[in-house]
């Protein structure tokens, strides 16, 4: 028998995930590592990491990483790419990092058509600080800072990130995927590959929003958390490709 599934080479030797049990971050990082292996990018990759549960990416991925302050990963990635147009540059951020504190940097990086890829993990909460209301918290969702549920009078509405990024002229690819089932995980990998490829082809900004579970802060079992992704998140954040300039117009 041959080994058909193993830890990607682009993971650090003896890495130890610090994510909670059942957290989808682990899968997202694995997909990135698999693609870096498959696309032969390891030697030319520079990653701009963010603050939040994603912060220790540099302890997991065996690629060059620069730590960006909270929300500034896209700005820092812009700097890396402008100084090194031949490198493969991506950010790995949470929704709070990408779409709240860093919305200006994220949006303008897309508008400039910066040749970088951005990955945003949307779990509708601030995970690392213990489950507060974030920019993607859905209406009625109970968090530690919306104890009565997100309410429009107090809190306004959540942001649909992938759709907003798709509206930016500099965006080459924008999609929303999920990690709740194995078929969706396969789809997510395809979307990430496309987001990486548009950068390599010099076409513009590549973006993937990944709907992810947060069993710990949602107070759910990992399986129930995936059920919530399907039943509560997907109606608000529909999966799909919102922009792909490489696709033929049908």
Partner 1 sequence: MKNNEKVLIKGNYAIAQAAINAGCQCYFGYPMTPQTEIGEYLSSKMPELGRGFVCAESELAAINMVIGAVSTGVKAMTTSSSCAVALMQEALSYACGDEVPVVLVNVMRAGPGLGYIYPAQGDYNQSVYGGGNGDYKIIVLAPSTVQECVNYTYRAFYLAQKYRNPVILLADGLLGQMMEPASFGENPYPEVDVSSWALTGAKGREGRAIYSCAPDEKKQIQHIYNLFRKFEVIAENETSYDEFEVEDADIILTAFGSMTRNIKAAMKVLREKGIKAGCFRPITLSPFPSKRINELAKQGKDFVVVEMNMGQMLKDVEYSVKGQSKVSLINRPCGEWLSVEEIVSSVEKMVEVSYAAGI
Partner 2 sequence: MGKIVIDNNRCKSCYLCTMTCPKGLIKKSAKTNRLGDYMVEFDDKKEECIGCAMCAKRCPDMAIEVYR
Check residue 69 for interaction with partner 2 (CB under 8 A). no
Distances in Å between the Cα of 6 and the Cα atoms of 1, 12, 33, 177 are 14, 13, 12, 23
Neighbour count for residue 46 (Cβ, 10 Å): 19
- Site membership for partner 1, residue 39 (CB under 8 A): no
Interaction between residue 65 and partner 1 (CB under 8 A): yes
Among 9, 13, 24, 102, contact with partner 2 (rule: CB under 8 A): 24
87 binds partner 1 (CB under 8 A): yes
Q: How far is the CB of 239 from partner 1 (least distance, A)?
A: 29
Q: Tell me: does residue 3 bind partner 2 (CB under 8 A).
A: yes
97 binds partner 1 (CB under 8 A): no
Q: Which of 7, 83, 167, 247 binds partner 1 (CB under 8 A)?
A: 83
How far apart (Å, rounded) are the C-alpha atoms in residues 136 and 125?
7
- Pairing between strand 45-49 and 205-211? unpaired
Of partner 1, partner 2, none, which one sits near residue 65, judging by CB under 5 to 8 A according to partner kind?
partner 1
State yes or no: residue 175 binds partner 1 (CB under 8 A). no
DSSP three-state, residue 119: strand
Q: Per-residue b/e over 135-151, b at no fewer than 16 CB within 10 Å?
A: bbbbeebebebbeeebe
Element housing 208 (H / E): strand 205-211
Structure tokens at 250: 């049908």
Which of partner 1, partner 2, none binds 194 (CB below 5-8 Å, type-dependent)? none
- Lookup: tokens for 33: 């590592």
Instruction: Report the C-alpha gap between 32 and 92 in whole angstroms.
Output: 10
Q: In this complex, which beta carbon is closest to partner 2, that of residue 63 or of residue 165?
A: 63
13 counts as binding partner 2 under rule CB under 8 A: no
- Per rule CB under 8 A, is residue 49 in the interface with partner 1? yes
Residue at token pair 């690629």: 63
| HSE, side-chain direction, 13 A CA sphere, residue 104 | 3
Decide: is 201 part of the binding site for partner 2 (CB under 8 A). Answer: no
**What is the size of the binding site for partner 1 (CB under 8 A)?**
37
| Residue 228 sits in the site that holds partner 2 (CB under 8 A) | no
Task: Please report, as ranges, the residues that interact with partner 1 according to CB under 8 A.
Answer: 12, 42-46, 48-49, 55-56, 58-59, 61-69, 72, 75-84, 87, 104-105, 108, 112
Task: Please report, as ranges, the residues that interact with partner 2 according to CB under 8 A.
Answer: 1-7, 11, 17, 19-27, 30, 182, 185-186, 215, 221-223, 226
């Amino acid at each position: 028998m041959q080994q058909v599934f193993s830890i990607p080479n682009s993971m650090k030797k003896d890495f130890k995930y610090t994510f909670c049990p059942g957290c989808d971050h682990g899968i997202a990082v694995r997909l990135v590592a698999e693609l870096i292996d498959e696309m032969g990018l390891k030697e030319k990759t520079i990653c701009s990491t963010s603050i939040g549960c994603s912060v220790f990416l540099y302890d997991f991925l065996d690629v060059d990483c620069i730590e960006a302050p909270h929300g500034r990963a896209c700005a820092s990635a812009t700097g890396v790419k402008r100084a090194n147009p031949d490198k493969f540059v991506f950010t790995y951020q949470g929704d709070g990092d990408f779409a709240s504190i860093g919305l200006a940097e994220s949006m303008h990086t897309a508008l400039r058509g910066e040749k970088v890829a951005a990955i945003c993990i949307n779990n509708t909460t601030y995970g690392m600080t213990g489950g507060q209301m974030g920019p993607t918290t859905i209406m009625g969702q109970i968090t530690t800072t919306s104890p009565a549920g997100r309410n429009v009078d107090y809190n306004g509405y959540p942001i649909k990130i992938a759709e907003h990024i798709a509206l930016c002229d500099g965006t080459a690819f924008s999609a929303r995927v999920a990690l709740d089932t194995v078929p969706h995980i396969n789809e997510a990998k395809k979307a990430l590959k496309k987001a990486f490829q548009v950068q390599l082809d010099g076409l513009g900004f590549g973006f993937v929003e990944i709907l992810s579970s947060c069993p710990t802060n949602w107070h759910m079992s990992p399986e129930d958390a995936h059920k919530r992704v399907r039943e509560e998140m997907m109606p608000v954040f529909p999966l799909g490709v919102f922009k792909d300039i490489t696709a033929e117009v049908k």
